[in-house]
Amino acid sequence: MSEFQRLKLEPAYRKVATALTERITAGALQPGARLPAELELARQLGVHRSTVREALRELESAGLLRRERGSKLMMVSRPDRKVVASGVTRALKLHSATVAEVWETMTLLEPTVAELAARRRSVEALAALGAVVARAEVDGRARDTRSQVASSAAQAADFFRALAAAAGNNVLAMTQEPLLQLLDSSLQRLISVVPQARGRIESAQRRILEAITAGAAAAARNWCEKHIRDYRRGFEIAGIDLTQSIATVSGRPRRAS
């Protein structure tokens, strides 16, 4: 008979962190709820105060806790969506996700998001989506500087974020976030190389917004499909190799050799 593997002994602070995380994710501790003071937590859990402090520090880094200004007590919070997604973004880069793979996933995801947004739109969601689209018009009139290109790329990504918010589906919003983070350099490259890209992006966004405002789900899906297809064509014109790892795409156009 083969020998048993040695058991992994977790540090005490990790056990405390796990116990608190389970309470938070189960809903027993809601966002905004204050935790007891460190000494009281240590008493309840039967550990040293230093152990509690280390556990709280770990959960604060994970975005599950935050310290309110002027208070020594920790408060339960929700992790920032972009921070959580950044871990998936990093993993996809390490697994050499290609431009084509990210684009293909967008074609599967975003038209459904647009359709749901048209079915579930609210006054608040429409106002937020309209505000994002209005930014495209402002960006289109600005000078083509590096910072402005970055701003235009951010606006293009924020449009999809606003779509997901209008769709009212947190899972879809979290699913698309790593893709949007991965696309940033490609979008900057596209906008800097293809002069007409800004106008086409703004036009497509307005068409999608009009369909969502009218509650026309099929039209919203159709225009979003066209919008995503147009991105692929733009990438090709900008000289982006769709088979390359998206992590290697530079926002700057290549210099002629």
List pLDDT tens digits, range 74-88: 999 988 888 889 999
CA distance 77 to 71: 15
- The residue whose two tokens read 């020998």 is 3
Nearest Cα neighbor of 75 from 38, 114, 105, 31 is 31
Report residue 147's pLDDT band, with 50, 70 and 90 as the boundaries: confident
Predicted TM-score (pTM) of the model is: 0.80
pLDDT at position 20 is 94
Report residue 56's pLDDT band, with 50, 70 and 90 as the boundaries: very high
Given a cut of 90, is residue 206 above it in pLDDT? yes
Express each pLDDT in 99-111 by its tens digit. Answer: 999 999 999 999 9
